[in-house]
A and B are shown apart, each in its own frame.
Chain A
Amino acid sequence: MKINNQINEVEKYIKNKYGSSSDIITRRIKINDNEILYIYLESVSSDDKISGFLMKDLSKYVNNQKEIKTPLINLLKNSILNSHLSIIDTYEQVFYNLSSGYTIIFINGEKNAIAIETKSILDRSISEPSMESTIRGPRDCFTENNATNIGLIRKRIKDPNLWFKETKIGKRTKTKINIVYIKNIANIKKVKFIENKLKKINIDGIIDSGYIREFLTQNSLSAFPEFRSTERPDVATAELLEGKILIMVENTPQVLITPGLFIDFFHTSEDYYQKPINITFTRILRIIGFFITLCTPGLYVALTTFNQTIIPYELLISLSIQRNGVPFPTSLSIFIMMIVFEILREADIRLPNAMGASISIVGALVLGDAAVSAGIVSPIVIIIVAITSIGSLIFNDIDFVNAIRLWRLIFLIFSTVLGIPGFVIAGIIFTINLCSMESNGIPYLTPISPFYPKAQTDVITRFSKKKMKYRPVYLTKNKKRIED
């Protein structure tokens, strides 16, 4: 709806729409014969900026006795020395700008209004990342402020080809969403694909980047995540240089990276700051950790209840002694202890820091020990469940860990029913499930499953950077990292 050119009507309309909230401030100033009205919301605007820029510049005209021939709006447009100034003419823009912290100047008799940026900073400062900490490497992390986030990336990639495309999604929240990519590296088709999907989103509010993830996903039934999220700008920068696309959502410190392939969840940013040979072993360790956390309960149940001949003789005797007097079958006791550990893990995240440490010690040690003494479970079950929980701590991404939790249960169920053949069947079903996933058009298990031998320089082994001359073929066509 277009703005009324009578400022009385404008003031009444805006105050009505906002329900006469306590943070609307209006003021009228007379300049020559004309009156101007400016409105701002006190909660999101900074008084310093308003008094500093607006008042200083307006004061020139207030006390001016001379005649002014040019229309007031042009005068004001040229003289207010704010950095960001725009002319708006609809009420939707007025409301969006007011809620974003702008000051709007209405001139009596003028259909257009001037919007001046006077935002106050309501976000926390750049701090250390809480969820993804590393030993070596930069320690800043994204905040909830859109401009800060963009700045953290912009200052790392000084190439003008780094493009940010912005859209606003959400009827009531009108959250800014930025698609970030480097123009001649990333695949333009995929960018357009994401843009089209974003345009089709029809929802009243976007609160977190997780909402966007759900709309963009192609495999809604699979437990594994196909977008990586990170709150570190160095990770985001490295992925941009590989040819991946970022999605930044305002008011969220987590940035989405697409395509997020299976092998990316095994890499951290530190892999590129440490020596290559050590990193190869660390990655092998992570893969071993993955298999431990996925397969150990199922394998233990299959071995001790179906194929006892694999177990060495002395271990068999001690396991048999430990199981004396335990009422539940093995798989049920593993299941119970797994549930207890998962509840403990969930509780650990929710508790405030003061109580966190003691509750986890209480839970782990006392519950485990007490359960053994009470005869509910055998000691080896506690060890097995503890090993699986420790193995899952390797991964950063919470969605990935939760997906592993689901599949661990499926492995356990199949092993209980059929032993080692059941374990193999569960493994085959797991493989098929992973292979049928695609992340933004790229199969999930690249570069292992569609096998790319040239991309093996960075999957498990990490070659030195002198030898990593080419970007992965499946991500981009611009292969060479340094163009001749």
Chain B
Amino acid sequence: MKILKKIIVLFIIFMLTGCFDYKELNNLAIITKMAIDKNGDEFEVSFSIENTKSNTESNIIYTAAGKSISEAINNIQLTLPKKIYTGHLSIIIINEELAKNNLNQLINYLIKSKEYSQNFYLALSKDKSSKETINEISNLETKLSKNILSDINNEITFSDFLKTLIKPGIDPVLPVITIKDNTIDVSSTLALFNNYKLVAFSNENQSKGINLIYNKTKEMIIPIKSDNKNIATIKLSNINTKTKIKNNTIININIKENYTIKEINYEIKKQTINEIKNKTKNEIKKLIQEGIEISKNNDIDIFGFGNMIYKNNASYFNKIKDTWGTEFKKINPNIKINLITDDNLQQTTIKENNNS
């Protein structure tokens, strides 16, 4: 018994000589953002690495190209003295060409590799390569010295994106990063996919409508024009959207929100309040219908109505699964909007003194 214990202790001591997964902290290149471009035949990968030595810049960008994503990453590793660590990756930005052609390859690479363990966001970069986008983001972060990506709220995580890819009856959507005047804007354009291919971009109103249906916006500000000069600015808060399905073909969208008139540059009378309310409802309906229309125009269903039908009645859905893109065009959802006003609406305004 004692001999066995001694043998085991010796074994342990021998095993200590090689610890295979051991990584020291200062030997890691901590990567926060990754950009993957496809230019022609080649993949170009850029990493934004946290700088832990000097205090001037907080991020450094490294780029390399290769025939496949892993080869490009390997090429970066060859130039880096530290070992690449992607455990704290927060966002991956891809460009249009990759989204049109090689999304499948990227997704499979990300699933199989064990090193991307955290849930990161995915975004698209339009009209620019993602390398330039990452460059601009890093410059902004150095100036404003904080992690800007923590403020955006329209993010789609990788697992959500995967779910929309794999599930039947729903098509994926990715936000598009645009940088205007020192701010990062993720909600004004959305990229729409059909299966694994990028098919369209949505403009601002359509994106607003799509986000309303997804229940992702919590607040919105809508200007309502009564004449060319008189604009009432409405603030909607606590927006809550529920989508329900009935009888396999009817879809009801119920939106409930709190409604306040933020700013108004003309006098409020009792009739105008109701008028403003109705106009608000119409505006919202218009936004939603625009969102649904762009989805119909591209033969895709980005809202998951097909998935809801599948969950209700899988056999019925399985019959129409292959032509769901065209079937979706027949669906006109009923939109019900419920506006809750704050009761302490300031009814009086300070009138302009027209005398003198």
Contacts and interface: CB of A to CB of B under 8 A. Distances in A.
Complex contact flag A–B (Cβ < 8 Å): yes
Interface of A: 304-306, 308-309, 313, 316-317, 319-321, 323-324, 326, 329-330, 413, 416-419
A480 B53 CA distance: 69
B19 A417 contact: yes
B19 A317 contact: no
Please list the 9 inter-chain residue pairs (A to B) with the smallest Cβ-Cβ separation, ordered nearest first.
Answer: A323-B26, A309-B87, A321-B52, A320-B25, A320-B52, A323-B25, A309-B117, A313-B88, A305-B22
A321 B50 CA distance: 10
Given A317-B30, A320-B52, A321-B52, A308 B16 contact: no
18 contacts: A305-B22, A306-B23, A308-B25, A309-B88, A316-B88, A320-B26, A320-B28, A321-B52, A323-B24, A326-B26, A329-B22, A330-B25, A413-B16, A416-B19, A417-B12, A417-B16, A418-B19, A419-B21
Contacts of A416: 16, 19, 22
Nearest to A306: B21
B23 A330 contact: no
Contact of A304 (B15, B19, B25, B30): B25
Interface string B46-69: 000010110000000000000000
Interface in B109-157: 117-118, 147
Nearest to A326: B26
B85 A308 contact: yes
A320 B21 contact: no
A62 B288 CA distance: 129
A332 B87 CA distance: 25
A313 B91 CA distance: 14
A416 B117 CA distance: 22
Interface of B: 12, 15-16, 19, 21-26, 28, 30, 32, 50, 52-53, 85, 87-88, 117-118, 147
Given A317-B52, A413-B12, 15 more contacts: A305-B22, A306-B21, A308-B25, A309-B87, A309-B118, A317-B30, A320-B26, A320-B28, A320-B50, A320-B52, A323-B26, A324-B26, A324-B53, A413-B16, A417-B12
A305 B117 contact: no
Contacts of A413: 12, 16
B209 to A, nearest CB: 34
Nearest to B21: A306
B90 to A, nearest CB: 8
Contacts of A329: 22, 24
Nearest to A310: B87
B276 to A, nearest CB: 45
A417 B12 CA distance: 9
B30 A320 contact: yes
Contacts of A324: 26, 52-53
Given A309-B88, A309-B117, A413-B16, A316 B24 contact: no
Most buried by B among A304, A306, A317, A326: A317
A321 B55 CA distance: 11
B23 A308 contact: yes
Contacts of B50: 317, 320
Most buried by A among B22, B23, B88: B22
A308 B117 CA distance: 11
A344 to B, nearest CB: 27
A308 B88 CA distance: 9
A464 B30 CA distance: 54
Given A324-B53, A417-B15, A319 B25 contact: yes
Contacts of B22: 305-306, 329, 416
Nearest to B55: A321
B342 to A, nearest CB: 39
A308 B21 contact: no
B80 to A, nearest CB: 15
A217 to B, nearest CB: 18
A87 B118 CA distance: 88
A313 B85 CA distance: 12
A418 B52 CA distance: 27
Most buried by B among A313, A323, A324: A313
A424 to B, nearest CB: 15
A302 B243 CA distance: 46
Contacts of A330: 24-25
Given A309-B88, A321-B52, A324-B52, A316 B25 contact: yes
A308 B87 contact: yes
